[in-house]
Amino acid sequence: MDLAKKAGITQKALSDFELGKQQITARANEKLRRVFDEQKIQFIAANVESSHLEGAGVRWKPSKPNSGIKTI
């Protein structure tokens, strides 16, 4: 999958974000999240009592989501 192409952003912009050379824009972030959502990829965080996100990761979006997992 060519992520940059599917998201409608340049490969350079994506590479710069991945390498920490540039902060991602809100618009590019939304475009990337849309692509991930279309591919049924879900961003998750560990179950913790505080509002701080710990152990963030990704998983395939389940057909029956577990309400006990925090999604980002």
Contacts of 46 (CB under 8 A, 6+ apart): 53, 54, 55, 56, 70
pLDDT classification of 11: cutoffs 50, 70, 90:
very high
Convert the pLDDT of each residue in 16-68 to its tens digit: 999 999 999 999 999 999 999 999 888 877 666 666 666 677 877 877 766 55
Q: What pTM, to 2 d.p., does this model score?
A: 0.69
Q: Taking the domains of the chain in order of start, what are their residue ranges?
A: 1-39, 41-72
pLDDT at residue number 38: 92
pLDDT at residue number 20: 93
Compute the 3-state secondary structure of the chain and give helix, strand, coil in percent, each to the nearest 5.
35, 15, 50
